Amino acid sequence: LAEAGTALLGMLLAHATSPSFTYFHAWSAGDVLVWDNTQTLHHSMPYENDGSVHRELYRTQARFSSPAGVPPPPPPSPRPARPPDDDDEIFCDCGWTRYPGQSCVQTRGASGFPCWEHCCSEQQPR
């Protein structure tokens, strides 16, 4: 049964990542790319960087209401509190992430204050 499931997942992934469903973006200065994580498989490509190129990433998140006539899903069950592991991302209130022992990925929080002063005092491992 596990082998059949693995084979099915392999077929689905091969189909979803076939050239007819694949988009490759050739980046140019000033480009902005937006995608819907609920509908898209995406990944980054390895690249050479000698330190002279600065890569800046921003994440936005939207909350959508349910379509008319569709009841909203139940709220998620709260997770038991536990200290974060070294490989847990910590999601800050400002929408950025960091790992335990590191500063936030961004340099400024939503209010303009440095993120680690603005929101990282409340750490939420996910």
Share of the chain above pLDDT 70, in %: 50
Quote the pTM value. 0.37
Which of 80, 83, 66, 70 is CA-nearest to residue 123? Answer: 83
Cα–Cα dist 69/66, whole Å: 8
Q: Indicate if the pLDDT at residue 56 is higher than 50.
A: yes
The pLDDT-based confidence of 50 (bands split at 50, 70, 90) is: confident
Q: How many domains does the chain have?
A: 1
Domain that holds residue 107: 86-126
Structural domain includes residue 100? yes
Structural domain includes residue 125? yes
Give the 3-state secondary structure of residue 13: helix
Structural domain includes residue 3? no
Q: How far is CA 8 from CA 13, 14, 18, 20, 38, in A?
A: 9, 10, 15, 20, 21
Structural domain includes residue 36? no
Structural domain includes residue 16? no
In this prediction, residue 7 carries a pLDDT of 93
Give the 3-state secondary structure of residue 99: coil
Q: Which residue has the higher pLDDT, 26 or 102?
A: 26
The predicted model gives 7-15 an average pLDDT of: 92
Range in 7-16, 39-48, 92-101 with the lowest mean pLDDT: 92-101
Give the 3-state secondary structure of residue 2: helix
